[in-house]
Amino acid sequence: MRLLLATATAAFLMSPLAAQAETVKLTTLEWPPYVMADASGPSSDAVKAAFEKAGIAAEVAVFPWNRAINLAQKDPEWIGVYPEYYAEDSDAEKGGDRCLFSKSFGVSPVGFVQRKDSDFSWSSHDDLKAHKIGVVRGYNNEEKFDGMVAAGDIAVEEADDDSQNILKVAGGRSAAGVIDKLVFEHLAQNDPAVAKVAGDLKFNDNLLIEHGLFICFENSDAGKAARDKFNSAL
């Protein structure tokens, strides 16, 4: 009888149900080349690999950005959202009102796209006051830049997405547009409308900022536990 019980226990421990890994669910957005429409891409690969190292299976789903944020913040089914830039006013551990930030799992080089025949140049934020700058509505760009925009010190031309932002630069609606360098290069090759004007554009050599990429975890005990496991795996 003891032998039978031991054998049965061992069989159970080796069964798929018993061996099933812990699972977390994360929201994301379509943001090529970092995250594609099917949730694949280097950001997803990095996030899944770190969780896998921690013995956790990460399930991810693509949503419009505002919904991705709201689900991760308010729906307990979703434990976090990525890729995010760090923002202190969102950091619940720094008095913010949203979430718990992970360690950085990647980088995003952010600067300006401009026309090749443009006289746009800059070395300090004050230089930007002389130009109308294209931005995507709702995006965090860089803290000092965003503060100057909010104060009315820098005039902006808002766009609904990165492609529209680029097209407005190409059409002269803005002197330059804030964009991630890899996003610009991807759209120049893969977006038909952007590809038509890409030859007239260039990415300015002077970066605005190189952001880290983070998961913004739900501000809860479960979110903190998942964040700490992710960070340890990194």
6 and 101: one domain?
yes
188 and 142: one domain?
yes
DSSP state of 59: E
Distance of CA 32 to the CA centre of its chain: 10
Contact predicate 192/90, CB 8 Å: no
The CB density around residue 217, as the number of other CB atoms within 10 Å, is 29
72 and 50: one domain?
yes
164 and 129: one domain?
yes
206 and 219: one domain?
no
Give me the helices (H) in the chain, please.
2-13, 16-19, 42-53, 65-74, 143-150, 162-170, 181-190, 192-197, 221-233
pLDDT tens per residue, range 130-182:
999 999 998 889 999 999 999 999 999 999 999 999 999 999 999 999 999 99
pLDDT band, residue 1 (cuts 50/70/90): very low
pLDDT tens per residue, range 61-112:
999 988 999 999 999 999 999 999 999 989 999 999 899 999 999 999 999 9
Query: Whole domain around residue 229: which residue ranges?
Result: 2-106+212-233
219 and 205: one domain?
no
Query: Which pLDDT does position 226 carry in this prediction?
Result: 98
Q: What is the CATH number of the domain that holds 169?
A: 3.40.190.10
| Per-residue pLDDT at 31 exceeds 50 | yes
Query: Which pLDDT does position 139 carry in this prediction?
Result: 87
pLDDT tens per residue, range 37-70:
999 999 999 999 999 999 999 999 999 988 999 9
Query: Which pLDDT does position 138 carry in this prediction?
Result: 84
Domain count, the chain: 2
Beta 56-62 vs 155-159: how paired, if at all? unpaired
155 and 181: one domain?
yes
pLDDT tens per residue, range 210-226:
999 999 999 999 999 99
